[in-house]
Structure 1
């Protein structure tokens, strides 16, 4: 990854690397393990992927889910293929918004809420933190399922 790029490119490249990591973490995990909670909270690999798609839509597309808790629970109809495709499509849409932003000081799109709208810089840094944290969770869940480690 080049280190002499502009700030937005560096932030987006780091975020994209984490996004790819979480999307790839579900590869080869059979049912029902991919949707089964691997820790007492019930967090699963599919739940993490579904949740992160919702977070991307919230921060970059201004779409707030009706129930944040539900974003962590895949439905019976959700599959690895459907949720990964949804996540990748959401990321593509988010990247259009990021790329179109001429100045990271400008506000990011946001669902109607009270309070100040965060800057695109803040949202990018927050999404790196959010995606990185959940990618770490996915690493642990995947290792518990079949011993697979790494990105």
Structure 2
């Protein structure tokens, strides 16, 4: 079954965002990007990873705690992330806050997930090493979905 025009437009926007993520950000992309602090990647369903954190400078939310749209790419060293909807500048990761809080409590070597919280519908990643594979799998899934829709609608890629 072919997608509705609205759903096809959403899929096309996701494909554009994937292409932008693969190319990496320009200086202009990051200059106006919202910042996400105390960010933590979370799984949502079998295909999707999002970032959870405190966002500032967001065009719709202003300053708030949020989960992002699906994460497509992240470069922790260069301090950026690309989601389906926008670029983000990365502030402090949640792990840094967690370590700081543990130290202030006299815990020198905190266990993984020293600070635990539940966000319904989301699970923390078991290991940060999972992230590249999960993002690659999500992108492959989007592209497979696109190919199936194009075939159903009789369109060429």
TM-score between both structures, scaled by the size of structure 2: 0.31
The structure whose residues are more often helix, as a share, is 1
Between 1 and 2, higher relative CO (CA 8 Å, sep ≥ 6) is seen in: 1
The structure whose residues are more often strand, as a share, is 2
TM-score between both structures, scaled by the size of structure 1: 0.32
Structure number with bigger Rg: 2
